[in-house]
Amino acid sequence: MKKVILKIDGMHCDGCSSRLEKSLNIQDGIKKAYVDFASNLATIEYQDIGLEKIEEYIEEAGFKSLGIEEK
């Protein structure tokens, strides 16, 4: 299993982060997703899919991935 932390653009409230989290958690290949509105970050555990597909799921939910969060 892989894990990625992505910066998310387009969230304006806790409801937005909750909606994105719910959307990601029902997608094929995503095992667990946690979206934090305060930091604009999505932590995603996944397998059998690529980063491009995850970013596609994010766009389908109405948000935009700004790429991997560098620590």
CATH number, position 21 = 3.30.70.100
Overall size of the chain counted in residues: 71
Q: What is the pLDDT of residue 65?
A: 98
Q: Average the pLDDT over 9-27 and give the result.
A: 97
**Is the dihedral angle over the CA atoms 36, 37, 39, 44 positive or is it negative?**
positive
Q: Average the pLDDT over 41-48 and give the result.
A: 98
Rg of the Cα atoms in the chain: 11
The count of structural domains within the chain is 1
Q: What is the pLDDT of residue 21?
A: 98
Give the structural domain span for 29. 2-68
47-62 pLDDT, tens digit each: 999 999 999 999 999 9
Is it the case that residue 13 has pLDDT exceeding 90?
yes
pTM of the model: 0.94
